[in-house]
Amino acid sequence: MELMDAIKSRHAVRAYTDRPLGSTVRAELSSFIEACNQESGLHIQPVFDEPKAFSGLMARFGRFSGVRNYIALIGKKSPDLEEACGYWGERIVLRAQQMALNTCWVAMTYRKVKEAFSLGQDETLCLVVALGYGAAQGTPHPSKPREAVMQASAPVPDWFLSGIDAALLAPTALNQQKFLFSLNGNSVSAVSEKGSCTKIDLGIAKYHFEVGAGKENFLWAYGGPPKYHS
């Protein structure tokens, strides 16, 4: 599955079957996560066969069921941490989709199980991503029109519109899509409004934009991928 196909087919899934993740799947996903950590400086960790995080009242409120695996998005405290977790976390999410796994970003409706992951000095758990084989494949979310999330003077190149279309397929908290991409020549900047989880959402949307637009077609201005350093 190509990355753009993964973007189009990935939807939030909250109910999972009891089908276990095989050793090959675990090894491949863990290896990909470690590669992302090496490049980003984050400390993202896969958590397998751990049902406690999604067994309490908050998980039921979030309508989660059958979640036994998840990805813990962890890094050192920094103004860039949330955006970095969004950007690099979505890379992992789309890799999981390519591996026929389902996912759901979870910022609040789970319980932190401290023994399930490790925190280094000054590190914090930002959020998690539920992971596994879904009972269903989820459904698409409604999106804003292109014009609501872009600024560009005509004529607008096709690559920029393709990037916007991909960004509009990015998962955002409460489907808020509070991001804006601006074009100046071949330079692109991206910002988000203030609000709950908007920095995370912006990181996710930036990765989608890169996939849709093609990194060879533009340069990031201010507001490009987060310069996160552990």
Q: Which domains does the chain have, with CATH numbers?
A: 3-132 (3.40.109.10), 146-220 (3.40.109.30)
What is the model's pLDDT at position 62?
Answer: 80
Mean pLDDT of all residues in the chain? Answer: 94
- Give yes or no for a contact between 71 and 129, defined as CB atoms under 8 angstroms apart: yes
Q: What are the tokens at 138?
A: 């989820």
Asked whether the predicted pLDDT for residue 167 surpasses 70, the reply is yes
CB 71 within 8 A of CB 89: yes
Q: Coil, helix or strand for 218?
A: coil
Question: pLDDT at position 24, please?
Answer: 98
166 neighbors 189 (Cβ within 8 angstroms): no
Query: Distance between CA 105 and CA 85 in Å, rounded?
Result: 11
Rg of the chain (C-alpha set)? 17
Q: At residue 228, does pLDDT exceed 70? A: no
CA distance 85 to 45: 12
pTM: 0.95
- Strand, helix or coil for residue 188: strand
- What pLDDT is stored for residue 223 in this prediction? 64
H or E stretch covering 204: helix 198-213
| Cα–Cα distance measured from residue 169 to residue 138, given in angstroms and rounded to the nearest whole number | 13
How far apart are alpha carbons 45 and 192 in whole angstroms?
Answer: 27
Tally: H helices and E strands in the chain:
6, 8
204 neighbors 127 (Cβ within 8 angstroms): no
- Give the list of residues 6+ apart from residue 110 with CB closer than 8 angstroms, or none: 53, 54, 58, 59, 62, 64, 70, 128, 130
Kindly report, residue by residue over 16-33, the tens digit of the pLDDT.
Answer: 999 999 999 999 999 999
Q: What is the reported pLDDT for 227?
A: 65
* Stretch 206-222: mean pLDDT: 95
Q: What angle do CA 123, 99, 44 make, to 5 degrees?
A: 5
pLDDT tens-digit series, residues 113-137:
999 999 999 999 999 999 999 999 9
pLDDT of amino acid 230: 52
What residue has token string 């539920």?
A: 130
